[in-house]
């Protein structure tokens, strides 16, 4: 078998395959990474794609620094693709001697190939836990989920759902369309505080490209034909990856966040999903909904 091939073109990176870490959603693959690359802040960064027949890694080289392609604040999981991940990474790094590297957002399973590559290059490194995601393993039924979150939280979920429906009508979750996406953006712009300035024109284009290129879906929380909250994320065969949300400010008094997430969890259980991934961040609401922390690691050092 021939060795890894280097290029600077996304067409050589796989659209799908086997990530070196389980349940990492869309993040390790070309549609997502290429979309983030298109919207990168460091326009001078050089793309380095290293591939074999079924393995790949994409690096961003800027000056004498190397990172995985996919900026950390947009990419919740980094994981090389394929069984030859150590070989493709070592090949890419071997042509960038005396460069510093930092590989972030790695689940523990994805660190193994990275460490093999660095050891093969005799590159010193440190590995530290630097962030985490919050992952909820879904039971077979919504009632089982309610029982699992404890009496206090179960009471709050039910109480807030009743209050919300008494105010606005019966709740339903509707997979969205272009109108739902427009509502999602509009809700962001009418939010109070920092969230109200998040959805700039460039950020809207980024989210639009995620819908067009990666299969991201906007789910709408609908009451009496009125959308009161939206969730932006990805549905895979066995999971849901929550990336962002927004709600109608006029519904803020009625706990739309709690209602949105409990309703989304119910919808994903009904769909047959096995995991609901809240992705990066240690916000308390994620763990009140039953999620468990999944640590992420950063590996950094310098190629000799």
Helical H runs in the chain? 30-38, 85-94, 108-120, 142-148, 151-168, 178-189, 201-214, 256-271, 284-288
Is residue 104 within 8 A of residue 72, CB to CB? The reply is yes
57-67 residues labelled b (16+ CB within 10 A) or e (exposed): bbbbbeeebbb
Q: How far apart are CA 301 and CA 236, in angstroms?
A: 34
* pLDDT attached to residue 176: 82
Q: What is the DSSP letter of 194?
A: G
Is residue 221 within 8 A of residue 180, CB to CB? The reply is no
Q: How far apart are CA 59 and CA 16, in angstroms?
A: 18
Domains and CATH numbers, the chain: 5-132+294-302 (3.40.630), 139-273 (3.40.630.30)
Distances (CA, A) of 301 to 76, 103, 116, 298: 21, 9, 14, 10
Distances (CA, A) of 76 to 23, 81, 105, 177: 12, 15, 6, 24
Total-model pTM? 0.95
CA dihedral 13, 17, 20, 24 (to 10 degrees): 100
* pLDDT attached to residue 222: 96
| Residues in a beta bridge with 174 | 220
* pLDDT attached to residue 219: 97
Nearest alpha carbon to residue 59 among 4, 21, 10:
10
| Ordered per-residue pLDDT tens for the chain, 304 residues | 468 999 999 999 989 889 999 999 999 999 999 999 999 989 899 999 999 988 999 999 999 999 999 999 999 999 999 999 999 999 999 999 999 999 999 999 999 999 999 999 999 999 999 999 999 999 999 999 999 999 999 999 999 999 999 999 999 999 987 889 999 999 999 988 888 899 999 999 999 999 999 999 999 999 999 999 999 999 999 999 999 999 999 999 999 999 999 999 999 999 999 999 999 999 999 999 999 999 999 999 999 9
């Amino acid at each position: 078998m021939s060795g890894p091939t280097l290029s600077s073109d996304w067409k050589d990176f796989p659209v799908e395959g086997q990530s070196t870490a389980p349940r990492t959603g869309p993040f390790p693959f070309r549609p997502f990474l290429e979309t983030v690359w298109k919207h990168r802040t460091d326009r001078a960064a050089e793309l380095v794609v290293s591939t074999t027949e079924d393995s790949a890694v994409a690096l961003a080289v800027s000056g004498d620094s190397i990172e995985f392609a996919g900026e950390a604040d947009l990419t919740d999981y980094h994981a090389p693709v394929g069984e030859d991940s150590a070989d493709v990474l070592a090949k890419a790094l071997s042509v960038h001697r005396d460069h510093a590297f930092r590989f972030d957002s790695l689940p523990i399973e994805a660190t193994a190939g990275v460490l093999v590559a660095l050891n093969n290059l005799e590159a010193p490194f440190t590995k530290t836990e630097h962030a985490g995601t919050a992952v909820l393993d879904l039971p077979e039924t919504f009632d089982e989920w309610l029982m699992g979150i404890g009496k206090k939280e179960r009471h709050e979920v039910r109480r807030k759902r009743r209050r919300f429906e008494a105010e606005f009508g019966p709740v339903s979750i509707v997979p969205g369309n272009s109108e739902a996406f427009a509502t999602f953006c509009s809700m962001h712009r009418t939010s109070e505080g920092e969230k109200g300035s998040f959805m700039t024109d460039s950020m809207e284009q980024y989210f639009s490209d995620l819908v067009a290129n990666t299969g991201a879906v906007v789910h709408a929380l609908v009451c009496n034909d009125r959308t009161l909250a939206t969730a932006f994320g990805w549905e895979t065969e066995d999971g849901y990856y929550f990336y962002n949300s927004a709600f109608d400010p006029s519904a803020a008094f009625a706990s739309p966040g709690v209602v949105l997430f409990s309703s989304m969890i119910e919808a994903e259980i009904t769909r047959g999903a096995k995991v609901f991934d809240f992705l990066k961040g240690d916000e308390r609401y994620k763990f009140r909904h039953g999620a468990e922390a999944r640590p992420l690691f950063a590996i950094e050092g310098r190629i000799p």
